[in-house]
Structure 1
């Protein structure tokens, strides 16, 4: 059974039970009330009839007066003498099964009642009966019996009962209609949410639920929309990561295959018997150079892997950037001079930071070596610039610059702006990725500013340590 039907039948059963219970209670309460009110009115009427009967004269008109009184009051009346013998009834057919005399017990009870009517209302009897002692009567009548069918009192109750029944059935019909409509209203968003959840589970992450409701269903719809949005973003990231991973392995294969082919070719040439010594030395240098290149490649991959999975990737301690920059300048000054470039420093003053010196040295090595490698003429500048509570470390060059289309992917693994030229210069394609990984581990980031034909500026910031 669907949830809409379950909701509808649950509401119907509960409300119908409630309506029937209230209706039955109302009918019983009204019937009891009407009978109680009827008994009180009956007692008052009996007193009035007794008073009137006792005032009649004992003449020829006595019987006619009794009959007229019974006819006007619409009660059944019987008159008894002082011995309890009935001598007058109206109407006669109402007393066919009634004894013609009163028993002694009843007469004694009437004498003790001092004119108060004795009401008999048993469940077995269909009539309400009253006996009253006329006491000092102006005629031969001593006791009066008055009765009436209980149906007279229940007539109003029957009319009210019919009205209640009609209202009850109308209410039940309305409840059924309203319950189905209400169940449909309640179940509609559930069905929509279920359908949307199934679509999302099947991979349709573009599905959006617009319930326009301010209740819990609206909140759930917003949650599902947020979940779909999150899954959509995660799925996009996974696709990008998968593409990068595929490209990463393809690039590793390519990067390793090229030096291996070179090494294989050099070894084949070294096997020649009549190879001149200078050629043999040349091929040996070529093989060693390519072996070092492969070693650097796997060293860079190892560094990146540690950044991805090792929380203790960096070992911080207080260091002075001035000393670190000076060491890098001394290491690369001969390389720059050999290429005809000017390697200069700017604003190199003592500046303490809390960082891993070995990893920062690796960052400076990559940035400075890249700057020297790609700068054909001019200079390379290493500098520090203090800004409030941080220090900016930068490396500038006067090289060819980098196009805007490459800046977003410049720090991706194995990404090269000019793949052929980069390989010729012996790069692994992982240097800037290693730089980004090390700086991210320091809660910093590498940034770049570049203009084609005017050079590039790589920089990052670190908090100054007191």
Structure 2
């Protein structure tokens, strides 16, 4: 089946509707004009007939004859004729050549007998040419005594109608040309907008989601274009998110593989050495300790990775309660006391005894231990201060160290998973770069905020705010 283009459909519909409207209006106008012309002629004849009837009612025959003769000459000049008939319908004066006899039909004669005026706008049967006819009865004592019939040819009216038809034909041709030009313009405009949508859709199907369609007018097509742009924007965002997740997945696999490689290589080397008796007996105990350490390191990596993924997947449920901050600080100080002494560091506590925080105890301890461990790793012969205070319905915890500090780039990057602040050292933020990522997500779960203030060679301060 052959397809008709949308452009031609629109063009045909525009032209058809406008032409039909013009034709209907033209027919209505011609009908009104013709009726008005005939009505004017009939009213004129009725006016003449009324004056003639008034003369017939006069008794003086001489005066009546003179008046009728005067009317005859006036009406003749206006191409109008009249004749008088008696109560039987017979013409009294003057004589006319009739194409039809009797003068009036039975139905028409009954109307005359009842005193009704008969008006015929167009008659082609009774006379030699088409005329307008008016018949007025002459009544006396409620009885018909005769009447008068007036006729006027309608060729002038027909000429007017013909002239109107000619002008309307010219107007119709001009209108058709205008309608055709306007219809082509609007059809092309609409088709162009639809084609833009089609081209954009084709780009979307090819995976180009950053396309935007010009809206223009806010009609139905404009609203469709707006919806299309919103759809394309959402698809573009979704594609970016998919790419980001894919990149994150690849990065995660690469990072985990890298972190697993070192302890696995160490364990494998030690096992191969012991298997082939390459390690002296006195060093085997040290080998077992190293394998134990690397195994624990692998376990911590797996646990931290699983912990982080659980947080991102909202699989962790917090058991919040009122916790005394000073008590938590003392637990941290006791657990990390040996690590601090190894590097010549001291852990100080500055917190009011009545300060409480509304949080999950285990997760709060995990947050503060991770941060404090990082501070210990990057501080030598210094101080790590654990502070607590309350401001504006917020419990604020600060962990300040006098370590090596960080520059601005490092401060903005430490929250990224597997990021290591100093790759030249064995120590790193969270050993595997996961610690601070977990800290940030756990703080978010508590509806809190965390920020860092740091300056190179002057130390770092972590500020955590928990809502009361």
Short-chain TM bin: 0.7 to 0.9
Query: In structure 2, what is the equivalent of residue 396 of structure 1?
Result: 400
Secondary structure at 1:446's aligned position in 2? Answer: strand
Deviation for aligned residue 1:272: 4.6
Secondary structure at 1:399's aligned position in 2? Answer: coil
1:456 and 2:468 aligned: no
Calculate the aligned-residue CA RMSD, in Å: 4.1
Distance 1:299 1:111 in 2: 118
CA displacement, residues 426-463 of structure 1 (integer Å, 9 cap, x when unaligned): 92221112212211221224322222222222221111
Query: In structure 2, what is the equivalent of residue 408 of structure 1?
Result: 412
Distance 1:424 1:67 in 2: 129
Tell me which moved more, 273-282 or 15-24: 273-282
CA distance 1:351–1:205, change in 2 (3 Å): same
1:261 and 2:271 aligned: no
Deviation for aligned residue 1:279: 0.4
Distance 1:104 1:35 in 2: 22
Equivalent positions of 1:29-428 (< 5 A) are 29-46=32-49, 71-76=76-81, 84=90, 89=95, 95=97, 97=99, 125=125, 126-129=130-133, 146-211=150-215, 213=217, 224-225=228-229, 228-273=232-277, 275-422=279-426, 427-428=431-432
Tell me which moved more, 443-452 or 203-212: 203-212
Tell me which moved more, 121-130 or 381-390: 121-130
CA displacement, residues 79-113 of structure 1 (integer Å, 9 cap, x when unaligned): 789994778547xxxx27456x879989x979968
Distance 2:104 2:161 in 1: 35
Distance 1:104 1:294 in 2: 123
CA distance 1:26–1:118, change in 2 (3 Å): closer
Tell me which moved more, 358-367 or 126-135: 126-135
Deviation for aligned residue 1:154: 3.4
Query: In structure 2, what is the equivalent of residue 443 of structure 1?
Result: 447
CA distance 1:198–1:352, change in 2 (3 Å): farther
Query: In structure 2, what is the equivalent of residue 13 of structure 1?
Result: 16
Contact in 1 for aligned 2:123/2:132 (Cα 8 Å): no
Deviation for aligned residue 1:224: 4.9
CA displacement, residues 345-387 of structure 1 (integer Å, 9 cap, x when unaligned): 2235332222111011111121111211222322222221322
Contact in 2 for aligned 1:75/1:147 (Cα 8 Å): yes
Contact in 2 for aligned 1:81/1:87 (Cα 8 Å): no
1:25 and 2:32 aligned: no
Deviation for aligned residue 1:252: 0.8
CA distance 1:18–1:343, change in 2 (3 Å): same
Contact in 2 for aligned 1:293/1:428 (Cα 8 Å): no
CA distance 1:123–1:81, change in 2 (3 Å): closer
Secondary structure at 2:339's aligned position in 1? Answer: helix
Distance 2:273 2:99 in 1: 145
Deviation for aligned residue 1:186: 4.3
CA distance 1:429–1:111, change in 2 (3 Å): closer
Deviation for aligned residue 1:39: 1.8
Tell me which moved more, 396-405 or 118-127: 118-127
Structure 2, unmatched stretches of 5+, are 141-145
Tell me which moved more, 302-311 or 47-56: 47-56
Distance 1:314 1:71 in 2: 116
How many pairs align?
Answer: 451
Deviation for aligned residue 1:282: 0.6
Give the structure-2-normalised TM-score.
Answer: 0.80
CA displacement, residues 14-57 of structure 1 (integer Å, 9 cap, x when unaligned): 23222222221222222223223222222333455678899997
Contact in 2 for aligned 1:110/1:132 (Cα 8 Å): no
Secondary structure at 2:336's aligned position in 1? Answer: helix
Deviation for aligned residue 1:268: 2.1
Identify the structure with bigger relative contact order (alpha carbons < 8 Å, sequence gap 6+): 1
CA displacement, residues 254-286 of structure 1 (integer Å, 9 cap, x when unaligned): 211221111111122223558544301010001
CA distance 1:429–1:131, change in 2 (3 Å): closer
Secondary structure at 1:318's aligned position in 2? Answer: strand
Deviation for aligned residue 1:318: 2.2
Distance 1:222 1:120 in 2: 65
Secondary structure at 2:400's aligned position in 1? Answer: strand
Distance 1:103 1:123 in 2: 12
Tell me which moved more, 22-31 or 152-161: 152-161
Secondary structure at 2:426's aligned position in 1? Answer: helix
CA distance 1:313–1:80, change in 2 (3 Å): closer
Structure 1, unmatched stretches of 5+, are 137-141
Distance 1:277 1:171 in 2: 112
Contact in 2 for aligned 1:119/1:130 (Cα 8 Å): yes
